[in-house]
A and B are shown apart, each in its own frame.
Chain A
């Protein structure tokens, strides 16, 4: 019998192209990844099986944790400025141009209106230290959270109206989306009060921010 000769081939493959592609993709993902914004109140959201994503833009977030409430206005300089203008008018607190600029850069905050100026004077790093911000008052007597939500919605509406009036195309007139981001261990009473505040101003549709449930639920 003739011996079957197995031709010895090199087991090595040229990986140059693979390497190129891998690094191309790597650079792409690194560049598109957005850095996590520092939050004054990091909370651990409960998990759910729902796989709907939160809209990326134009969502105001109410963060609830340790019986404190924080508010994040969408990252749009105009909405933030106009919201603060309304707060300034209602509570009679005057802000300087510099403070408006600072406020436009603040991601989330949780202080009573009277302490807002003090918060703006701090650096971003100091601002997000635990314990610096005490939460926005949201009881029925001092319902500042309700005002913030209301004014943010009004500001959003005003901007959209202005865009429509200017004849911009593709503008969808929609109400500001509100998301509640609560800590899993938070009492139901606190969240109930926040939901009540939203209902008081006929904001009956909102989102609950949840994490991804990984186990077989």
Chain B
């Protein structure tokens, strides 16, 4: 019969001894693979679930309803205007008489975040001086038509990080559009 000899000393008249093979199989590679797949499935099942950002909006103004005449404390009101190319312009107070004049900022940790954190502190101080320690900064977000949806989510995200007392999405006014166009944050649309 055909014989397969491996090793050198096979043919020297020694007793043919059946080799005692180890009954255990090396499972290392198999376990590695199994854990790799587990990791993959665990991450894809929990991470692929979409995140959601709850967004409460104010009631739409209805003409028959009486206007709410609560005065907005302008000392701690911040308005954020979003222009084109991910650029932001913000000011404190009213548009005609801003407490802090319009300032340009960018998105992200070193941009609007710093300004926001500063203003949140300021708002808290002002509110404390007014005798309302539970209140703080009020942010009004106004995006121009050149803004993208990502800008909106980014700025809402900043709100979630810096936590002002209140924030709302507002409609941009023609005056504010003019301002954005003057500062070069918005290309004028030919009318």
Residues on A close to B: CB < 8 A? 12, 14-16, 18-19, 22-23, 25-26, 29-30, 32-34, 36, 45-56, 64, 179, 181-192, 195-196, 198-200, 202, 204-213, 216-217
A50 contacts across to B, CB distance below 8 A? 51-53, 157, 160
- Asked if B52 contacts A204 (CB within 8 A), the reply is no
Known: A14-B24, A198-B57. 15 other contacts (CB 8 A): A15-B30, A22-B35, A25-B38, A48-B157, A56-B49, A188-B82, A188-B146, A188-B149, A188-B151, A191-B152, A195-B169, A202-B59, A204-B59, A207-B54, A210-B53
Q: How large is the interface on B (under 10, 10 to 19, 20 to 34, 35 or more residues)?
A: 35 or more
Of all chain A residues, the one with the shortest Cβ separation from B82 is A188
A188's partner among B44, B108, B148 (CB-CB below 8 A) is B148
Question: In whole angstroms, how far apart are the Cα atoms of A208 and B154 in the complex?
Answer: 12
Q: Which 4 residue pairs of A and B lie closest in terms of their CB atoms, listed nearest first?
A: A29-B41, A22-B34, A15-B27, A54-B52
Of all chain B residues, the one with the shortest Cβ separation from A198 is B57
- Asked if A184 contacts B150 (CB within 8 A), the reply is yes
Residues on B close to A: CB < 8 A? 24, 26-28, 30-31, 34-35, 37-38, 41-42, 44-45, 47-60, 82, 108-109, 143-154, 156-157, 160-161, 169
A49's partner among B45, B48, B60, B160 (CB-CB below 8 A) is B160
Question: In whole angstroms, how far apart are the Cα atoms of A187 and B150 in the complex?
Answer: 9
A-B contact pairs, 25 of them (CB 8 A): A18-B31, A26-B41, A29-B38, A29-B42, A30-B41, A33-B41, A34-B45, A46-B154, A48-B156, A49-B160, A52-B52, A53-B52, A54-B51, A64-B149, A184-B148, A188-B82, A188-B148, A188-B149, A188-B151, A195-B57, A205-B55, A206-B54, A207-B53, A210-B50, A217-B108
Of all chain A residues, the one with the shortest Cβ separation from B43 is A29
Query: How many residue-residue contacts, CB under 8 A, span A and B?
Result: 155
Q: A19-B27, A205-B55, A217-B109 are in contact. Are A49 and B161 (CB under 8 A)?
A: yes
Of all chain B residues, the one with the shortest Cβ separation from A188 is B147
